[in-house]
Amino acid sequence: MHLDEVRKRATLTVDETSAVMGTARASTYAAISRGEIPSLRIGRRLVVPVPALLALLGESAQHEA
């Protein structure tokens, strides 16, 4: 998943977050549980807000041309 695609979304699943960050799924869950990656629980589903992920990666939410 490219950052341009990510910017169009409000949230990402843990698997999508792992793909964007280049980390293993278990490592992503561990970082979420340590509070290093912000997350939201919606029902039984755990999602990562895109603006928070982009800030963590040092990317702007707006595409810079």
Which of the 8 DSSP states describes residue 49? Answer: E
> Which two tokens mark 15?
């698997």
Residue 61: pLDDT band (50, 70, 90) is: low
Q: Helix 25-33 vs helix 14-21: angle between axes, to the nearest 10 degrees? A: 110
Tens of pLDDT, residues 30-55: 999 999 999 999 999 999 999 999 99
Say how far residue 64 (Cα) sits from the centre of its chain: 19
Residues in the chain: 65
Q: Which of 1, 8, 2 is nearest to 50 (CA)?
A: 8
Give the C-alpha separation, 14 to 10, whole Å: 13
Domains of the chain with CATH codes = 3-57 (1.10.10)
pTM to 2 decimal places: 0.84
